Chain A
């Protein structure tokens, strides 16, 4: 809401207050502002008289003007505007003048001739073309004959007036009027609000004699109509035009401008119909489904049954949003029917969302003060009489179903002080209600406050407490800690579990990333065996349309981003939800990781470790071990995840439940060796893990023994390990594979796999015999169950 200082000053005297001070004080009662500026932020502009104007000899566009600015000199200024003529009073930007859009005027040479300054158009003074008349867009602005040559042109035009652009909160519909602003400013500075003149003469004819009003819907709470005749359509007075432009509304003609001007004053939108085109029947009703109307912007609108319309025999206006083209005010309009009404805020909001957010609908959807509807109507009549020579018919066409009584709200002084945490006295609170112009009585510690209808946002005692707090100033509150019982705060087991996962993966060199939950449909299908998508009704773009089913597609995006930026090692993980629809919306936390490139780097010694399946496996195993799942997990290849390499990936099981996947990304998806894992946090969480119970470290010596088996080339080493572990049992405390050999010393199609085994007994030193017994048992078991032979050297 843009508020012009002179406009506001008509409603509350602020002549002795700096506008910056006012803006800053408004912030502290809850009304922030976007900007404060003059209508035109420019300097060194004076009124000049064009004493001579000739065509430039070599440039078709340029005129050579001689301009008098009453400083004893005549200046030569080159001007390209088509409308410049000798004898005109014009706006002259002197050399050194600054104009909006960062323009500084310098002495210049144009087409070989010197120019000392510029003759300005309104556009150059900072006005947007949409607010300007055609001749002002095309050419320079011509001042009236009474303009004093040599004086400040900005001052003469009133463009040094200041504007504050307030950003209003959604509850303060009352501030969408200068009158509302005046009350707010009045409360801050303790000043009374002045109302404008609403008087006019009436003719002997009564509107009720000719018009018939029929309100057929409860969604119209009040409908008032007046008729004026014999209007003269012309340009509005300058001050109305300037105030409209400063408020962001384009001036059109005196009649249309007055309807907008009154709306700015009172916050009550008006609609003017050409009375001769409207006829004398006015009906307010809900639209029929698929009913049609062509609105002022010449668009044909198909209506819904939730739209409120004004109709005679057909629809003539979309109530509160936009008028119809058929009954529009035009150059030939003589007689006007003025509508001042109140409609259902939520329905206006609904209609305007589909059609247009107009100045009127913005006010309607936040509610209208029923005590202003008639005032605004009368004000419009007053102005039409004054500036459009209108004659006003007697009487008001009227339907009124509103309550115009002040609202009685009670609140105790104690309650105010308890909620605010202050110690205000009766006098202080009473003064605040007076400033707000709320009538109040104080009885037995309780304020009985009469809240005027203009404050649609104040309805319960908490609203009154807020009014007291904000006018008194929240800055006066001194912070204290609440006196509440001591309790232990904590996060849930689940949250600490996730924190542990983060810690382990950080320790293993993976950086946490956070990516978007919304993906393109195509990406959302990656890495998911059961695609049960959750899709947005109205996505913002195709890229952000479907809720993810896996975190891996997003991790690949992070990989690609970093890869093209020449990152040699990319080790990342994310903990976050995936979203599915399975008889209800399901959110499941996953932990997913990606490794690529150098995992540990030492190239000059040749000991760099590259990310591969075994590094990935190490990371996943370390994580599972940390989570207490040691000896409970296994890796299988039965239900591999799509989009992973079929021969370089596994399913991860814990206690025979599938908890996730790991492996190399399928070359169809990505042509780089990227390894990923994804585990379900929820499934890992569901596994009960025993508390730590320390077992004393064995005091007895351990014994190392090596063994090698020759097995078929395509046999998994895991098969052999399975039988070694089966026999070794709890005495086998460590197993390592230290060599895999294929070559001339071995039969073709076979490989030799050498294991280093460590045996130890918790309770005693193992004898040679015991160890040999285990050792021979292992050989026997492996050879019996597998196509394996002990390798002899």
Chain B
């Protein structure tokens, strides 16, 4: 260790060996500060030498000044270096003392999630809102008039069989479908002009609960009324929605069917997202999955709600959020939605990858 190598210590009366020993024996910030005071403190050796300089000759004063300044500068550097060294050591020690077991368990803060049915409804709502649809709701305790008759299902129509209902009185029942909201919306539209709505909500049928039936379930009804609406428009619209729900590579397929409130009536299949039409257990080896019912609004429904069928046509569709969720997430039992096992619910409480 050679401190103050370039300083003429003799000329200022400091013994190099003593100073070197003093520096090398420093062991704490306190020691450092004491040494600093000893030499360059208010009454330090060097400070005093500065004071005595006035008695020296001009030449000597100059030389002394140079030597003292040089000493002070280098000595100060040493002091600062030593302080930094000890501070670093002290901090290191403190950090060492702070050490915790990071493998111990986290404090468990819970974030809640939405129910998977709501998740699907929200997703479908967003898709249709982006295409200019309004979200409209209606009562669950409905009249026979709106639930059936306005929808071209007169009393004693055989098609009522497939929708065995919970009646409250002869006239009131729990709605078996969200379609009455269509009729209410058309009825309420005083201008009898274009309509673009989707109607999510709870529906009820007199079924015994099992893995695929539930006496309570949800539906989302869609309705577009305008001039010149066609099945091609229905297909184009559903293609967008189903691709968004099940992936961009999906295709959709139309099959004829029968619903009293649409004519023509269409059953819509989506190509299997699991096997991409190769055939698997989900699509029962057909490559296609039945996903929703739809069609062109029956002229009787338009008439019943005050619309002129020679001017307007429309398409309507009904999709089951439970079915969508069961397919999308691989849920096998519809009752799971209503049991609300927290372990089940928490499974849906995260962001999905989706398509980048």
Contact = CB atoms under 8 A, between A and B. Distances in A.
A479 interface: yes
B112 A514 contact: no
Given A477-B231, A484-B196, A495-B137, A462 B299 contact: yes
A487 B196 CA distance: 9
Interface in B168-191: 168-169, 172, 174
A761 interface: no
A181 to B, nearest CB: 16
Interface string B85-123: 000000000000000000011011111111101100010
Contacts of B236: 479-482
Contacts of B338: 514-516
Given A484-B196, A511-B112, A515-B340, A490 B158 contact: no
Contacts of A598: 108
Contact of A512 (B118, B208, B215): B118
A539 B166 contact: yes
Interface string B126-156: 0011111111110111000000000000011
B113 A477 contact: no
A348 to B, nearest CB: 10
Contact of B114 (A502, A516, A518): A502
A508 B110 CA distance: 8
Interface stretch (B9-17, B71-79, B259-267, B274-282): B259-267
Contacts of B340: 513-515, 558, 561-562, 572
Interface stretch (B18-26, B28-36, B61-69, B247-255): B247-255
B224 A481 contact: no
A537 B196 contact: no
A518 B240 contact: no
A22 interface: no
Interface in A465-492: 465-466, 469-470, 474-475, 477-482, 484-492
Contacts of B355: none
19 contacts: A28-B255, A419-B296, A421-B233, A474-B266, A479-B236, A479-B237, A480-B233, A482-B226, A482-B236, A482-B237, A491-B125, A492-B136, A514-B117, A515-B340, A517-B216, A572-B340, A585-B168, A585-B172, A601-B108
B41 interface: no
Given A479-B236, A537-B167, A602 B230 contact: no
Contacts of B130: 489
B323 interface: no
B3 interface: no
3 closest A-B pairs by beta carbon, nearest first, are: A421-B232, A30-B256, A421-B230
A418 B309 CA distance: 13
A279 interface: no
Most A Cβ at <10 Å: residue of B108, B140, B206, B234: B108
- Range class of the B interface residue count: 35 or more
A502 B118 contact: yes
Given A573-B112, A587-B141, 7 more contacts: A170-B258, A466-B263, A478-B232, A512-B113, A515-B338, A547-B174, A565-B343
Contacts, number: 256
Contact of A479 (B128, B133, B238): B238
- Range class of the A interface residue count: 35 or more
B118 A169 contact: no
Interface string A585-624: 1010000000000111110110100000000000000000
Main SS class of interface, B: mixed
A573 B169 CA distance: 32
Interface in A406-455: 418-422
A507 B141 CA distance: 32
Nearest to A348: B156
Contacts of A561: 339-341
Contacts of B342: 511, 562, 567, 570, 572
Nearest to B104: A604
Interface of A: 27-30, 32, 169-172, 345-346, 349-350, 365-366, 418-422, 460, 462-463, 465-466, 469-470, 474-475, 477-482, 484-492, 495, 499, 502, 505-518, 534-540, 544, 547, 558, 561-562, 565, 567, 569-573, 576-577, 579, 585, 587, 598-602, 604-605, 607
B60 interface: no
A419 B114 contact: no
B212 interface: no
A345 to B, nearest CB: 8
Nearest to A486: B132
A563 to B, nearest CB: 10
Contact of A507 (B111, B155, B256): B111
A721 B226 CA distance: 61
B161 interface: yes
B260 to A, nearest CB: 8
Nearest to B310: A415
B7 interface: no
Contacts of A495: 135, 137
A585 B196 contact: no
Most A Cβ at <10 Å: residue of B224, B229, B252: B229
A117 B302 CA distance: 67
Contacts of B156: 346, 349-350
B192 interface: no
Contacts of B346: 511
Given A506-B113, A509-B110, A170 B168 contact: no
A139 B159 CA distance: 44
A346 B159 CA distance: 12
A304 to B, nearest CB: 14
A585 B232 contact: no
Contact of A607 (B107, B230, B234, B298): B107
A470 B232 contact: no
Interface string B326-355: 000000000001111111011001000000
Contacts of A569: 110
A480 B107 contact: no
B239 interface: yes
B194 interface: yes
Contacts of B115: 511-514
Contact of B231 (A350, A474, A491): A474
B332 to A, nearest CB: 18
B235 interface: yes
A585 B139 contact: yes
B123 to A, nearest CB: 13
Most B Cβ at <10 Å: residue of A172, A466, A490, A579: A466
B255 A30 contact: yes
Contacts of A509: 109-112
A164 B349 CA distance: 45
A21 to B, nearest CB: 15
A561 B159 CA distance: 38
A479 to B, nearest CB: 3
A792 B215 CA distance: 67
Nearest to A362: B158
Nearest to A510: B112
B233 A579 contact: no
B93 to A, nearest CB: 25
A540 B216 CA distance: 12
A474 B254 contact: yes
